[in-house]
Chains A and B, each alone.
Chain A
Amino acid sequence: MRIRNLAVAALGVAALCGASGCRKHARTAKVDPLLAAYDSEADWNDSTKMIPLGYQQAQGKRVFYQYCVWCHADSTPAGPSNRSNLTPVPALLDDGATLNAESDEYLGNIITLGGSALGKSAMMPPYGRTLSPEEIRSVIAFTRAIAQPPYQPPGRPGSQYSAR
């Protein structure tokens, strides 16, 4: 009797499952970083490689393509770039060999205050009164994201108390 009851119950469960289409949960697939990203940017030297961007980097991309792209890239949304017109020639934004060596503070200062304030060319105008500090930080985050060779954030300086 007891066994029969159990069998009926099991049948009932099976029928319910069949009706509502319940199914073992599919194994969670590995999340594609591009799907999880806010935005992406094609590697400037290899358009098949997409770089996923986080929130701040995606904001930086937006600012970059409105304000900076005209002189800091070789092709622009409008077509030709102003970069070849300028002497000294501005750095490409993905030029890691040049920009990775500079600190975030330095890049922030040169965008905020312009080239002339830091002894560089006055052709780089100051954007401190046009862009907000958050926008400037986001552009730097975007720069770091697309740098080639890739940017390695500096490690924390060793504590003076740590054992040598």
Chain B
Amino acid sequence: MFCTTCHSLAVTRAGETKLIGGDIGPELTKVGSKVNTDWLIAWLRDPEAYLPHTRMTRYGWSDEDLYKVSQYITTKLVDSDLLSDVPKLDPPADEEIQLGRGLFIEKGCASCHTIEGVNPQKDFGPDLSALGGKNASELEFGAAKIPHNLVSYIQAKLEDPVSVNPAARMPRYSWNQPDLDAVTTALLSMKGAPPTSAFENLLVPRKPSSFRATGSFAEVYERYKCYACHRFNGYGGDLAPDLTYEGSRAERQWLVEFLKSPQTLRPTLILRMPQLNMSDKDAATLADYLALVMQHPAVNPASKDAKEFTPAMATLGKQLYEVKYQCQSCHTIGSSGGYVGPNLSNAGGWLTPAWIEAWLRNPQALIPDSIEPRRNFTDEEILALTAYLVTLRAGIKPQKTAVNIGALASEQGAGR
């Protein structure tokens, strides 16, 4: 299922515990002790029904699959010492309930969590938009033994709010050092209203994203939360490939097959696209939109036809690939080759000839941070290599969902 693409589990190996998996969703190591099975099944069936703004995708699982997944979660992912040192409580008295309700508002719980009928305090936390421009003299250091400057203040406050202000209501977070540094940097950058000066003219304005999904695509895209991982014309996550130019890159038929059964092109990746059990109609809607709309201005997939390549060109291309340029050091075809670049066994079925040609000319013109080196191919070589790659085709084997669940369960069970 590739739940690990977004969720992590704590795994202990050789006495060392670390989190394995993605960080888009919450860690699930002990979630089985937290959720009850009915809620879990309802959540997995349709996450949006519970949390309308969730980034969790909706899987088209059968009832049997849902049962298996929820059984796995509620029996395996549990807390072994749950409730071992929690004192027994008496049934609550009315005044205790009132006290709890008061604390819930006063301590700020209500600022993030919603309970019907409980109204949070307005402006609970102070405005931080000008924090980065503050002088040390404006800050309250309390009894903290730290250097009196803004950076130390922010870091001490983030690490332990009570250390600089005993009355602080801010929760204490357990940051790791990179996160702490990143938040500090962000706060330091917030210097309030920008000064109006000639300096502003020197800044390159950030291009706002103009991407708005439309039509029937928007509905399917919203349902599967494609944007949680993929980026569309500047909008979306950066875990998975940017799909801004996917229409120029991939053949429509390949897109349909991939959406129905995602087969990774990069075998060493750990975080992979999940099997979403899409209907034919959903897959066709997404593929049509990607193929027609998400195109690169300079790469028109209709401009090149695979029929214009001759077998002689393909033979020359194969020689160039294997001998002169030795592309196999990074790319796999069939069962041999490197795994730095994507697997090209199905290059002809996957990539459009126009994209291959433009890519060979200048990879960074299409994807600026690609690590594929830009080569000095002649036009003839580019055509020959394109002709060769277009001839490469391989069938896609369907995934067996049930087998994967079993494998995942036993693997995770062994890991714990």
Cβ–Cβ contact A126 & B376, under 8 A = yes
The answer to whether B371 and A123 have CB atoms under 8 Å apart is no
- Asked if B338 and A78 sit within 8 Å, CB to CB, the answer is no
Binary flags per residue of B338-351, CB closer than 8 Å to A gives 1, else 0: 11100000000000
Flag whether B268 is at the interface (Cβ < 8 A). Answer: yes
B250 to chain A, nearest CB (A): 23
A36 to chain B, nearest CB (A): 18
A3 to B325, CA, bound (A): 92
The answer to whether A82 touches B376, judged by C-beta atoms less than 8 angstroms apart, is no
Q: Which of B326, B364, B369 contacts A123 (CB 8 A)?
A: B326
Q: Tell which of A27-35, A65-73, A152-160 binds the partner.
A: A65-73
Looking across the interface, which residue of chain A has its beta carbon closest to that of B324?
A122
Among A66, A85, A124, A129, the residue within 8 A (CB) of B371 is A66
Q: For residue A79, which residue of chain B has the nearest CB?
A: B268
Task: Count how many chain B residues have C-beta atoms less than 8 Å from C-beta atoms of the other chain.
Answer: 21
Is A78's CB under 8 angstroms from B268's CB? yes
Contact between chains at A126 and B375 (CB < 8 Å) = yes
Closest A residue to B340 by beta carbon equals: A70
* Closest partner residue, chain B, to A124 (CB atom): B329
- Knowing A66-B371, A71-B340, A82-B340, say if A129 contacts B376 (CB, 8 Å): yes
Q: Which residues of A contact B340 (CB under 8 A)?
A: 70-71, 82
Are B339 and A129 neighbours in the complex by a CB distance under 8 Å? no
Task: Establish whether residues A86 and B329, one from each chain, have CB atoms under 8 Å apart when the complex forms.
Answer: yes
| B326 in contact with A121 (CB, 8 Å) | yes
Given the complex, which residues of B lie within 8 Å of A66, measured CB to CB?
369, 371
Say yes or no: is A44 at the interface (Cβ < 8 Å to chain B).
no
> Interface size on A (CB < 8 Å)?
20
A112 CB to closest chain B CB, in angstroms?
11
How many residue pairs link A and B with beta carbons under 8 A? The number is 54
- B364-393: contact bitstring with A at CB < 8 Å (1 yes, 0 no)? 100001011111100000000000000000
Give which listed residue, A70, A78, A129, A130, contacts B269 with CB less than 8 A. A78
Chain A to chain B contacts (Cβ below 8 Å), 23 pairs: A66-B369, A70-B340, A70-B371, A71-B338, A71-B340, A78-B269, A79-B268, A80-B268, A82-B329, A82-B330, A85-B337, A85-B338, A85-B339, A86-B329, A121-B326, A122-B326, A125-B325, A125-B373, A129-B374, A129-B375, A130-B364, A130-B373, A130-B374
Cα A125 to Cα B337 in complex, Å, equals 15
Alpha-carbon distance between A70 and B330 when the two chains are bound, in angstroms: 9
Give Cα A71 to B338, complex, Å.
9
State whether the Cβ of B407 lies closer than 8 Å to any Cβ in chain A.
Answer: no
Please measure, in the bound complex, the distance between the C-alpha atom of A122 and the C-alpha atom of B340, giving whole angstroms.
Answer: 16
Residue of A nearest to B363 (CB): A130
Does chain A have a CB within 8 A of B270?
yes
Interface positions, chain B 108-153, Cβ under 8 Å from A, are: none
Q: Distance in Å from the Cβ of A47 to the closest Cβ of chain B?
A: 14
B residues within 8 A CB of A122?
Answer: 323-326
A71-B329, A80-B268, A82-B330 known; A126+B338 contact, CB < 8 A:
no
Bound-complex Cα distance A86 to B403 (A): 34
Question: Does A127 sit at the interface, judged by CB under 8 A?
Answer: yes
The 9 nearest A-B residue pairs measured at CB: A123-B329, A129-B374, A122-B326, A125-B373, A70-B340, A82-B338, A130-B373, A123-B326, A130-B374
B343 to A: closest C-beta gap in Å? 13
A125 partner residues in chain B, CB cutoff 8 A: 325, 329, 373, 375
- Least CB distance, B400 to chain A, in whole angstroms: 25
- Per the bound structure, the CA–CA distance linking A8 and B329 in Å amounts to 84
How far, in angstroms, from A79 to B373 measured CA to CA in the complex?
Answer: 22
B8: shortest Cβ distance to chain A, in Å?
A: 16
Mask: chain A, 17-30; 1 = CB below 8 Å from B; 0 = not:
00000000000000
